[in-house]
Chain A
């Protein structure tokens, strides 16, 4: 642990750790709107079967999760809860923003009660576009995230200052 934080981890060990991390992602399902059903189809249905990618969709709480998938419309009333969830997750943590609403507000771009993009409150790693995206699109997003985790410098992720989004 100390090696990781001080950034003195040997390179082969880093890639080994990264490989094991990327194939054991515990994903927390923060289903909000329409996209939640497509996320459910991607994570829970036998047709798409996300577990073959090494993603485990059943953490009991955000404290056990590595990745959260924000799927659906984020309203201003929901924002504190999402921020809270993100605070509860252990580092290193990743965020997928699924669907146009979570990306930028989507069809509710002019609404008085919708937050125009979840990236206003938490840092997002992967944006999955669509309204709603097909389950395949979410799987693609997860695969892209795994690629990114594989190439990551762990020390930077571990030690780096929190990304502040105000």
Chain B
């Protein structure tokens, strides 16, 4: 028996102390407190949730945020407009291109310029592709939280086809930083249209696959149907947006109802809603959204106008004084930028309204009284991204 070294003793004591701190789980008069996170698979990263339990039922739930707070709104104040574009890519890191667009549109609104039609169409294309890249991962992730690992592998596999197309057009798999005030950095590469159409076929196959593999699964339905119901008026008071709002039966999509100049109105597509407002309907609505996105992309590719991709803008971008608000329907929901400019190289103040921040605000309301395993499915179905909550 070897002697235990001083270092091993130290490590043991450290580990014991760490255990004592990390899993806060004890009984009080009010029930048991269970700590999920800040690093927990069900919280997509670094959301921490403190649950008060009575047996298996949740009495109250308190999300603790800030583990991913990077201070965006302050950082935008010390950066120029092109630098802010780089930064805001990383808010919702799964749908990066979609984050750039509302900011660029807000700056363009203040400068009173408009990108040429071809640039608008390519923006819409890339916007929808980042939506597919984002939501396809949700589909796999949701299944993963129910307990089905296969779907996550499929999602990672098929997502690559879209990422490849984004990369070949913009140069970045994740953070394209492709949008410029007044247009785009570059035109599309040769052969991109044919490849993209092929990848859209793949994505439609993926949707079919997920429909049979996940959505039709009895266990999946039993775990999600009737769980985490959010009525429409609660959804609106909390400011839920995107598929979470549409799954509660509110027929509202900024792409259709509040066009901001991009090309969604030029093509034929459908906004899906679901009357139930439960976890299943949120999954279902998102799955339909991927299909609609592939339809939008196919039509945009067919009708892509020719022409310039950049309007005439000054070399040094100074945005005139004013305030502007532009919101678009991002993969996670409504994302908007309230830009206050004072005529400088950079914005004076940018309020970033992200979808997940409002979407997660409903968690304490919706988890009251549910069982612990359902907390996981509700969190998964609300679908948030930590960077989008904390900014």
Contact = CB atoms under 8 A, between A and B. Distances in A.
A contacts B directly (C-beta below 8 A)? yes
A1 interface: yes
Contact of B152 (A5, A33, A44, A161): A44
Contacts of A44: 152-153, 156
A114 B387 CA distance: 13
A90 B7 CA distance: 11
B156 to A, nearest CB: 3
Interface in B6-38: 7-8, 10-11, 14-15, 17-19, 21-22, 38
B18 A34 contact: no
Given A34-B90, A34-B175, A131-B175, A113 B70 contact: yes
Contacts of A159: 5, 7
A45 to B, nearest CB: 3
Interface in A43-87: 44-47, 63, 72-73, 75, 77-78, 81, 84-85, 87
Contacts of B5: 5, 159
Nearest to B64: A77
Contacts of B2: 1-2, 5
Interface string B147-159: 0000011001100
B67 A34 contact: no
A84 B18 contact: yes
Interface stretch (B71-79, B116-124, B207-215, B352-360): B71-79
Nearest to B83: A107
A41 interface: yes
B70 A45 contact: no
A84 B87 contact: no
Contacts of A85: 18, 39
B351 interface: no
Contacts of B21: 84
B174 interface: yes
B94 interface: yes
A110 B156 contact: no
B156 A45 contact: yes
A166 interface: no
A112 B18 contact: no
A114 B19 CA distance: 25
B80 interface: no
B137 interface: yes
Contact of A77 (B19, B67, B75): B67
Contact of B71 (A33, A63, A91, A108): A108
B3 to A, nearest CB: 8
A125 B2 CA distance: 29
A88 B21 CA distance: 11
A164 B14 CA distance: 14
Contact of B74 (A1, A36, A37, A112): A112
B197 interface: no
A73 B157 contact: no
B157 A75 contact: no
B134 to A, nearest CB: 10
B223 to A, nearest CB: 22
Contacts of B17: 87
A114 B70 contact: yes
Nearest to A160: B7
A77 B70 CA distance: 11
Given A30-B39, A32-B45, A34-B175, A75 B86 contact: no
Contacts of A114: 70-71
A2 B66 CA distance: 45
Contacts of A84: 18, 21-22
Given A78-B38, A91-B11, A107-B86, A33 B18 contact: no
Contact of B69 (A30, A75, A162): A75
Contacts of B173: 38, 134
Nearest to B90: A34
A36 B45 CA distance: 8
Contact of A34 (B14, B46, B93): B93
A7 to B, nearest CB: 12
Contacts of A131: 175
A48 B194 CA distance: 25
B157 A33 contact: no
B107 interface: no
7 contacts: A33-B45, A34-B174, A37-B174, A46-B157, A132-B174, A134-B173, A161-B7
List the 3 closest pairs (A to B, CB-CB), nearest first.
Answer: A45-B156, A34-B93, A2-B2
Given A87-B11, A88-B18, 6 more contacts: A32-B68, A34-B175, A63-B15, A111-B75, A113-B69, A131-B175
